[in-house]
Amino acid sequence: MSNEFDYTKLKHVTSVDQSDRKVPYNLRQSGPTKVEMLISTRVRKSPYWHLSMQAGCWRATVYNRIYHPRGYVKPEDGGAMVEYDAIVNHVTMWNVAVERQIQVKGPEAEKFVDYVITRDATKISPMRARYVILCNAYGGVLNDPILLRISKDEFWFSLSDSDIGMYLQGVNADGRFDCTVEEIDACPVQIQGPKSKALMKDLLGDQVDLENMPFYGLAEVKVAGKSCVISQSGFSGEAGYEIYLRNATLYADDMWNAVLDAGKKHNLMVIAPAHHRRIQAGILSWGQDMDQQHNPYQCNLGYQVSLSGKGEWNKKTDYVGKTALEKMGEEIKAGKKPYKLQLVGLELGGKPIEDYAPDFWLISPSDGGDPVGFITSPWYHPEKKTNIAMGYVPFDGTLNSNGFPKGKVGTKYKVHLPEKYSTTPGQPVDAVIVDIPFKESFNANTREVVKG
């Protein structure tokens, strides 16, 4: 029992309708619980872990069973908003080795991949990447990786935070598809920010024509003499690239230090993944903004089921979740509400939120009353000079021009912020639904539809 806070007073909020979930979100407001992370051998240290420590990493979390750096600038020195300044004005490097690479390789690799994702894998050309989702048989989103097609018979799933590698091996446990499914020692870093192209040109020389590289384009390159795949992609709304280093356990220092050297004249800064910038871009974080009990429609990913828009289903004969997803889609078109809560964008009051939220903060109707929803991803928007967030509120049946569910812009709510951010302690702040994204993005990495 802590001497600073009586945790026995905390209650799970039952007024938020989570009756369509087997395991509800934990809505107890426990705040920034003071514990020390145990670093042990049961969680993997990535090949870049020691390099992140050298760069000043002071805090971390666990992502895909790998320790994940989540802060370099300490709060007393300006914290995450100093890192924000670096990504919007200069260029940054992130240790994202936690994006495990699951290789699918063999004569029926395409057939296997087409079966486990909702979009059409046959339309993805070699040396191209796409943002995709994998769903379970009930239509729940299991993962939303970047899918890299290395060649005709080889794909890499660059995973978000769920153990999809074992799932993929399980799908093919009986060998029904003529391909292998295994994790490989290829670990990415992200190079993000307006100076990213200039840095990459200095790093790669004439190996690749970056001026004509398409969004989600891939290229085979050498960095410090080591084999890499690069992708024009990233977890932000800024221009950016990912460098996937092969045999990363052996060559992590070579690649990392080559990037640092090339970045010196561009004000390169090593930072944590820029969640402030990805929230502005409306990019979802699996486990935070969605999980396996959310279907694509309720978290603004309906276009992954109907890439042509207007509710026209993929022409594929079969894929995991097809029956459930098309049934949900038909119910939505008929004016029904097959789920309880919808992900929306919000602008909200309060003092600037300049760090990660330790809880899913509660949302009440505008006239007060018991909570009906919760915030998943809040942060301060320096340009708008207001707090922004994504969160779940009751689905009211509103659809966008393509027939996909969305929140009704202008709908007002109240958000219960912790005392640290509340303008009047004990009183919720005003909030209103707005369109997502919150800020212009400079590439297709906002996860919008890219055909094929």
Q: Is the Cβ–Cβ distance between 102 and 164 less than 8 Å? A: yes
Q: What is the value of pTM for the model shown?
A: 0.95
Same domain, 342 and 257: no
Please indicate, yes or no, if residue 112 is contained in any of the structural domains: yes
Residues 193-206: what's their mean pLDDT?
Answer: 98
Q: What per-residue confidence (pLDDT) applies to 450?
A: 46
**How far is the CA of 132 from the CAs of 155, 158, 229, 298, in angstroms?**
13, 10, 19, 16
Q: What is the pLDDT of residues 342-391, one digit of tens each?
A: 999 999 999 999 999 999 999 999 998 999 999 999 999 999 999 999 99
Q: Residue 374 domain-assigned?
A: yes
Model confidence band, residue 163 (pLDDT cutoffs 50, 70, 90): confident
Angstrom CA distances, 322 to 147, 297, 317, 399, 450, stand at 19, 13, 9, 21, 21
Average pLDDT for 278-295: 96
Same-domain pairing of 269 and 285: no
The domain boundary, picked from 273, 290, 312, lies at 273
Tell me, yes or no, whether 315 and 166 share the same domain: no
Q: Is residue 14 part of a domain?
A: no
User: Looking at 232, 252, 273, which one is the last position of a domain?
Assistant: 273
| Range name among 135-149, 164-178, 212-226, 312-326 with the lowest pLDDT average | 312-326
pLDDT over 80 at 308, yes or no: no
Mean pLDDT, the chain, whole residue set: 94
pLDDT score at 314? 72
Single residue among 239, 273, 307 that ends a domain in this structure: 273
- If asked whether residues 226 and 121 sit together in one domain, one would say yes
Half-sphere exposure of 360 (CA within 13 A, CB side): 23
Residue 425 lies in a domain: yes
For position 3, what pLDDT does the model report?
45
302 and 257 co-located in one domain: no
Whether 216 and 91 share a structural domain: yes
* 288 domain residue, yes or no: yes
Residues 215 and 350 in one domain: no
pLDDT tens readout for residues 256-275: 999 999 999 999 999 999 99
Q: What is the mean pLDDT of residues 317-321?
A: 93
- Residue 447 has what pLDDT? 55
Same structural domain, 322 and 209: no
Shared domain for 257 and 371, answered yes or no, is no
Burial degree of 92 (CB within 10 A; 0-12, 13-18, 19+): buried
% residues pLDDT > 70 (the chain): 94
Q: Tell whether 315 and 249 lie within a shared domain.
A: no
Q: Residues 289, 291, 294, CA angle at the centre, nearest 5°?
A: 90
Same domain, 252 and 330: no
The lowest-confidence range among 40-44, 277-281, 445-449 is: 445-449
AA letter at 373:
G
Q: Which residues contact 175 (CB under 8 A, 6 or more apart)?
A: none
CATH number, position 245: 3.30.1360.120
121-153 confidence digits (pLDDT tens)? 999 999 999 999 999 999 999 999 999 999 999
pLDDT beyond 80 at 452: no
pLDDT band at 441 (very low <50, low <70, confident <90, very high): confident
Q: Between 220 and 447, where is the model more confident?
A: 220
Distance CA 77, CA 71 (A): 12
pLDDT in tens, 37-85: 899 999 999 999 999 999 999 999 999 999 999 999 999 999 999 999 9
Tell me the per-residue pLDDT of 397-410, one tens digit each, with 9 for 90 and over. 999 888 899 999 99
pLDDT value, residue 154: 98
Answer yes or no: are the C-beta atoms of 81 and 383 closer than 8 Å. no
* Domain span at 52: 41-273
Q: Tell me, what's the pLDDT at 65? A: 96
Residues 308 and 201 in one domain: no
Q: Which amino acid is at 447?
A: R
pLDDT of residue 307: 64
pLDDT above 60 for 1: no
How many Cβ atoms are within 10 Å of 306's Cβ, its own excluded?
A: 23
CB 48 within 8 A of CB 380: no
Dist CA 257 CA 280 (whole Å): 30
